[in-house]
């Protein structure tokens, strides 16, 4: 397929674990090594050929909208959820008219990575197979990540087909990035519900796939994760330079 040219950026979370920072600043605008989490994700999308991104907002959403007024690398559409937080899937359903009929990237606004060799978003686009897949997720090895303190999420077979793998020793972490075909949302309403529902449906149909990253994955969940994230940027960016 041709690369996705649209993306859904999930930026409406409350960021409760990042308090007190997020009492006055939305988590996507937290700066890591001088650049916001949100801009790091948008830069990766722009570099992958995306020309339009829908960014949903809720907590301190006006600050995100004002920040994005200054972002010029791609067209930004704000999907305002200030009245009702729609969760990951509900936010996407609301944005579907702007995302269009073709597969699109999804990206959590609070996670990023350091590419190694081929950019991870390009690797995802190259693997996408519309005949076999409804969802393709970027996965991270816990040993090749910084800031992750939770469990693993998925197990992958030799073809990349996924099953749930919570706390499995061979499990991988969902990296907060993927490609989704909008057909999976047929008949869905823009009401609060999670993408996990669609992950499970795709697993049942044998159509949830994943791609293990070659780069280094970084997540910033709490204030004390900021310094390790900045150290990882220095370490792994120098390795790939």
Across the 241 residues of the chain, what is the mean pLDDT of every consecutive 10-residue run?
A: 88 87 91 92 94 94 92 91 91 95 94 90 95 96 84 91 86 94 95 95 97 93 89 77 46
CA of 189: how far to CAs of 78, 95, 119, 158, 193, in Å? 19, 11, 34, 35, 9
pTM: 0.91
User: Is 158 part of a structural domain of the chain?
Assistant: yes
Give the angle subtended at the CA of 236 by the CAs of 234 and 239, to the nearest 5°: 105
Rounded CA Rg of the chain: 17
pLDDT given at position 238: 58
Beta strands, E only, the chain? 6-10, 31-32, 35-36, 52-57, 75-80, 104-108, 111-114, 135-140, 145-146, 154-156, 162-164, 173-180, 208-212, 216-219
In a domain, 171, yes or no: yes
Whether the bond into 42 is cis, omega within 30 of 0: no
Note the pLDDT of residue 241: 46
The count of domains in the chain is 1
In this structure, is residue 1 part of a structural domain? no
In a domain, 40, yes or no: yes
Residue 88 lies in a domain: yes
Q: Look at residue 168 and tell me if it is in a domain.
A: yes
Which range marks the domain in which residue 35 is found?
6-240
CATH code of 51's domain:
3.90.550.10
């Amino acid at each position: 397929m041709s690369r996705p040219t649209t993306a859904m950026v999930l930026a409406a979370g409350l960021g409760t674990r990042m308090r007190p920072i997020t009492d006055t600043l939305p988590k996507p605008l937290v700066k890591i090594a001088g650049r916001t989490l949100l801009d790091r994700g948008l830069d990766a999308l722009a570099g992958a050929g995306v020309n339009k991104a829908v960014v949903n907002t809720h907590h301190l959403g006006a600050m995100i909208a004002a920040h994005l007024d200054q972002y010029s690398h791609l067209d930004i559409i704000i999907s305002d959820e200030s009245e009702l937080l729609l969760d990951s899937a509900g936010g996407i359903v609301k944005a579907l008219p702007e995302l269009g009929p073709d597969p699109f990237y999804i990206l959590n606004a609070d996670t990023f990575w350091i590419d190694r060799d081929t950019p991870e978003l390009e690797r995802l686009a190259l693997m996408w197979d519309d005949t076999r897949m409804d969802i393709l997720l970027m996965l991270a090895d816990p040993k090749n990540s910084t800031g992750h303190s939770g469990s693993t999420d998925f197990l992958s077979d030799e073809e990349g087909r996924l099953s749930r793998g919570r706390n499995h020793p061979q499990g991988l972490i969902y990296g907060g990035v993927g490609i989704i075909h909008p057909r999976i949302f047929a008949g869905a309403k823009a009401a609060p519900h999670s993408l996990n529902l669609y992950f499970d449906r795709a697993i049942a149909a044998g159509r949830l796939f994943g791609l293990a990253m070659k780069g280094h994955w970084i997540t910033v969940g709490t204030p004390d994760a900021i310094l390790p994230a900045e150290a990882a940027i220095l370490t792994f960016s120098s390795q790939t330079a």
